[in-house]
Structure 1
Amino acid sequence: MTIEAWRITGQSQIDSYVGRWAELAVLLVNELAVTRARGRPVDPPADRRAALEAAFAQQGRPTGRALTGADADRLAGVAAELHPAFTGDVAALNAALVRHAAVPNLHGDPPVLAFHAPGADLVDAWAADAGTALAMVIGVGQGRRLRTCEADGCELVFFDVTRNASRRFCGLSCQNRAKASAYRARRRT
Structure 2
Amino acid sequence: MDLAVLLVNELAVTRARGRTTGVPEDRRAALDAAFAERGWTSSRALTGSDADRLAGVAAELHPAFTAGPDATAALNQALVRHGAVPNLHGDPPVLAFHGPGADLVDAWAADTATALAMVIGVGQGVRLRSCEAAACELVFFDVTRNTSRRFCGLSCQNRAKASAYRARRRA
Bin the TM-score by the shorter chain.
over 0.9
Amino acid at match of 2:33: A
Equivalent residue, structure 1, for 2:119: 137
- Whole-angstrom distance in 1 between the partners of 2:13 and 2:146: 26
Equivalent residue, structure 2, for 1:73: 52
Aligned with 1:90 (options 72, 91, 95): 72
Deviation, 1:87, is: 1.7
SS of match in other structure, 1:166: coil
1:4-153 map, 5 Å? 22-88=1-67, 89-153=71-135
Deviation, 1:31, is: 0.3
Amino acid at match of 2:9: N
Structure 1 stretch displaced more, 90-99 or 115-124: 90-99
Deviation, 1:110, is: 2.0
Q: CA RMSD in A?
A: 0.8
Deviation, 1:70, is: 0.5
Equivalent residue, structure 2, for 1:6: none
- Whole-angstrom distance in 1 between the partners of 2:127 and 2:77: 21
Amino acid at match of 2:136: C
Deviation, 1:92, is: 1.0
Amino acid at match of 1:49: R
- Whole-angstrom distance in 2 between the partners of 1:59 and 1:164: 26
Deviation, 1:90, is: 1.3
Taking structure 2 as the reference length, what is the TM-score of the superposition? 0.96
Deviations 1:96-138 (A, max 9, x none): 1111111111112222111001110000000000100011111
Q: Return 5+ residue gaps in structure 2 as ranges.
A: none
SS of match in other structure, 2:4: helix
SS of match in other structure, 2:123: helix
Taking structure 1 as the reference length, what is the TM-score of the superposition? 0.87
SS of match in other structure, 1:158: strand
Deviations 1:52-74 (A, max 9, x none): 01000101111221001110110
- Whole-angstrom distance in 2 between the partners of 1:124 and 1:84: 19
Amino acid at match of 1:165: T
- Whole-angstrom distance in 2 between the partners of 1:143 and 1:23: 15
* Deviating 4+ runs (over 2 angstroms): none
**Identical positions, percent:** 83
**Matched pairs, number:** 168
- Whole-angstrom distance in 2 between the partners of 1:148 and 1:121: 29
Deviations 1:27-62 (A, max 9, x none): 000000001111111121111111101000101111
SS of match in other structure, 1:113: strand
Equivalent residue, structure 2, for 1:12: none
Q: Return 5+ residue gaps in structure 1 as ranges.
A: 1-21
